[in-house]
Amino acid sequence: MVAQEGTASGAAPQPLGQPTSHAEASEDYNQRIAQLAAESKASDPSSLGGDYQIGPEDLLEISVLEAPDLNRTVRVSDDGTISLALLGSFQAAGMSTRELQADLQDRLRRRYMKDPQVSVFVQEMRSHPVSVFGAVEKPGVYQIRYAKPLIEILSMAQGLANDAGDTVIVVRHQGAAPAPALASLSGSGSMLTTDHPAGIAIPSPDPTGMAISEPSGTESIAINLKDLLDSGNPRSNVLVYPGDLVKVARAGIVYVVGQVHKPGGFVLKTNENISVLQAIALAEGLTPNAKGKEARIFVRSGPNEQPQEVAINLDKIMAGKTPAPMLKPDDVLFIPNSAGKETLHVLEQSTAGIVGALGGAAIYRW
């Protein structure tokens, strides 16, 4: 018997890739993750049964029928052994729970009991960790029985955070998975059956990601998150093995506030900056009350730095008389009201005030 892993319920998919509000974008993406995770789990051979392989640090509950004095809860040591009364110390790591049950019954039969009945329950899994961090709702360390598809791991972490970017990186030690899963991602993407202990098929590489050799003895696979969620492409849904690290990259966000038709934050693609004109277009243009010649860009040079105010003349920029400045992640473009009151009010609040007020801004993916 094995301790139960985290699960996630399915949900109806929602259209992706269209601009939505901050809450709606997060909800749509996470509903899609839950739905794909449910489908993936239903087709995962490891979810249909199989026996758990015991490892160091696992907590085992061992029961002997009609011999309660022999019942024990023991932690597997770092070297993979356990110690029991009458039987001493012996190796447990590497065995399945059924194999350990059979081994214990054999040891008791040879020395103390005629027909021992032993059960082994994994009360706490500690030897099969996957670390999930970055832009997910619940980062942390999760225990998995076998290799699981990436979408299931994201579901265990309760989906994406609002500032999730467009890339998921899976990092593992070299040799932890069969080589085809980490080869150059220029292959055909066909499914391969391997002799991995999980006993399940491994998707071979395809153009949706990139494997990178790391000098520290690890390898990384970069997966395009939008491809994974929009298409549900099984070749993007790579297997994650015990011991792997999963990181969801955080996206940069550019904010456009004030006199525009759709104020809010706009999620940037990886390593991308956009111009002031692009930002205005994403915000669906200026309102009739906009005073473009007194627009401001609030620029933060570092996470703990006060934002600096840069004056720009949007009227000249939009007329093509002045080059359009580029906006970097966390920059704020502010367009005041032509009545002038809004400009004075904002400037009195200071640059920190306008940036601090962005916590409730809508966030859009485009």
CATH of the domain at 106: 3.30.1950.10
Predicted confidence at residue 284, as pLDDT, reads: 93
Residue 35 lies in a domain: no
- Give a yes or no: residue 75 inside a domain: yes
Where residue 183 sits, what CATH number does that domain have?
Answer: 3.10.560.10
Please tell me the predicted confidence (pLDDT) of residue 348: 43
In a domain, 29, yes or no: no
CA 227 from centre of chain: 15
- How many CA atoms lie less than 13 Å away from 29 in the CB half-sphere? 29
Asked if residue 155 and residue 214 are part of one domain, the reply reads yes
Domain assignment present for 69? yes
Task: For strands 209-213 and 218-224, give the pairing.
Answer: antiparallel
Query: 250, 280, 302: which is the final residue of a domain?
Result: 250
| β-bridge mates for residue 211, sequence order | 221
Domain identity same for 104 and 134: no
The per-residue pLDDT for 180 is 33
**Strand bridging mode 245-250 / 129-134:** parallel
89 and 166 co-located in one domain: no
Are 138 and 221 part of one and the same domain?
yes
Same domain, yes or no: 104 and 190? no
Let me know if residue 320 belongs to a domain.
yes
Residue 161 domain-assigned (yes or no): yes
Does the residue 49 lie in any domain? no
Write down which residue in 196, 229, 250 finishes a domain: 250
Domain count, the chain: 3
Tens digits of pLDDT across the chain (366 residues): 544 454 333 333 333 333 344 444 556 778 888 888 888 776 655 443 457 889 999 999 999 998 899 999 999 999 999 999 889 999 999 999 999 999 999 999 998 899 999 999 999 888 889 999 999 999 999 988 888 899 999 999 999 987 888 889 999 876 554 433 333 232 323 232 233 333 333 333 333 344 444 445 678 899 988 888 876 567 788 899 988 999 998 888 899 999 999 998 888 876 678 899 999 999 999 999 999 999 999 987 766 777 888 999 999 999 999 999 999 888 999 999 886 555 445 544 444 445 555 655 677 766
For residues 132 and 239, state if they share a domain.
Answer: yes
User: Is position 344 within any domain?
Assistant: yes
Q: Which secondary structure element, helix H or strand E, spans residue 54, and what is its range?
A: none
Q: Which two tokens stand for residue 15?
A: 């259209």
- Does 286 lie in the same domain as 202? no
The answer to whether the beta carbons of residues 243 and 172 sit under 8 Å apart is yes
Check whether residue 279 and residue 351 sit in a common domain.
yes
Q: Are residues 135 and 246 in the same domain?
A: yes
User: 145 and 227, same structural domain?
Assistant: yes
Identify the CA nearest to 203 among candidates 161, 232, 163. 232
165: domain range?
127-250
Judgement on whether residues 192 and 237 belong to the same structural domain of the protein:
yes
Alpha carbon 359 to chain centroid, angstroms: 22
* Residues 185, 157 share a domain: yes
* Residue with token string 């052994």: 81
Q: How far is CA 274 from CA 138, 255, 324, 333, in A?
A: 30, 11, 10, 12
pTM of the model: 0.62
